[in-house]
Copies of this chain bind each other. A is one copy, B any other.
């Protein structure tokens, strides 16, 4: 890697907080890599060979049953961490939903570096705890929420996570954004079929709560009503 100090996610990824020398060592272990939309970086069940920071783009984390049913179990955004450190196999696949740019490390090398840099492990721990919280929130959605509640929750979550910039002064809830998911993928996140997703979105549009300028764009017309529908905890 050329120069971590110029990295787009320098202050938001887990490498933030490392000093100049440490960054130099870590930088030698990693390499920048572009992946294209649809490309799978890690396959469920395969040896866990790489981990990475996301510099730019959105990826999905998914698990599936042998007959083809698939569930998206996580979404990874700019500055987030990808992969399964300290584990022989990856229990899930990681696939790019948009073109993306990553900072990739061999898992073994990263594990070794991490064990020697408590500050890095601490950041990774905090991130993992946050991810666990989000995942549990999603379990509540999958176990107990109705189709309408699920769609509303997803739109609000995307509005919020796509608006994150890492800069505390600049946390926006976007009112218009481009979904990094097609209808099938929305279904795979929410535990619904493509038809149900489509119907629910059409309903929200008919009710004037959202607008759908094109296949991928969503514009929130009435956030309050959307929040009511999401049946927040």
Among residues of B, the one whose C-beta sits closest to the C-beta of A124 is B125
- Tell which of B44, B61, B133, B191 touches A143, judged by Cβ atoms closer than 8 Å: B191
Residues in B with CB closer than 8 Å to A135 are: 132, 135-136, 139
Give the distance in Å from the alpha carbon of A126 to the alpha carbon of B85 in the complex: 9
Given A131-B132, A132-B135, A140–B44 Cβ distance below 8 Å?
A: no
**Knowing that A63-B137, A71-B139 are A-B contacts, what are 4 other residue pairs whose CB atoms are under 8 Å apart, sorted by A's residue number?**
A65-B233, A84-B133, A132-B132, A135-B136
Given A86-B129, A115-B122, A121-B118, A231–B143 Cβ distance below 8 Å?
A: no
Q: How many copies does the complex hold?
A: 2
In this assembly, does A142 line the interface, its C-beta being within 8 Å of a C-beta of chain B? yes
Find out whether the CB atom of B132 lies under 8 angstroms from the CB atom of A191. no
Q: How far is the CB of A96 from chain B (nearest CB, A)?
A: 19
- Tell which of B64, B121, B129, B188 touches A122, judged by Cβ atoms closer than 8 Å: B121
How many A residues have CB within 8 A of the partner chain?
Answer: 47
A172-213: which have CB < 8 Å to B?
Answer: 188, 190-191
Among residues of B, the one whose C-beta sits closest to the C-beta of A230 is B65
A20-45: which have CB < 8 Å to B?
Answer: 44-45
In this assembly, does A232 line the interface, its C-beta being within 8 Å of a C-beta of chain B? yes
Given A74-B136, A86-B125, A124-B125, A145–B65 Cβ distance below 8 Å?
A: yes
Among residues of B, the one whose C-beta sits closest to the C-beta of A64 is B233
Give the distance in Å from the alpha carbon of A87 to the alpha carbon of B139 in the complex: 20
Give the distance in Å from the alpha carbon of A194 to the alpha carbon of B135 in the complex: 24
Give the distance in Å from the alpha carbon of A142 to the alpha carbon of B145 in the complex: 11
Find out whether the CB atom of A44 lies under 8 angstroms from the CB atom of B233. yes
In this assembly, does A138 line the interface, its C-beta being within 8 Å of a C-beta of chain B? yes
In this assembly, does A91 line the interface, its C-beta being within 8 Å of a C-beta of chain B? yes
Find out whether the CB atom of A233 lies under 8 angstroms from the CB atom of B129. no
Among residues of B, the one whose C-beta sits closest to the C-beta of A70 is B144
Given A84-B129, A121-B122, A129-B87, A191–B65 Cβ distance below 8 Å?
A: no
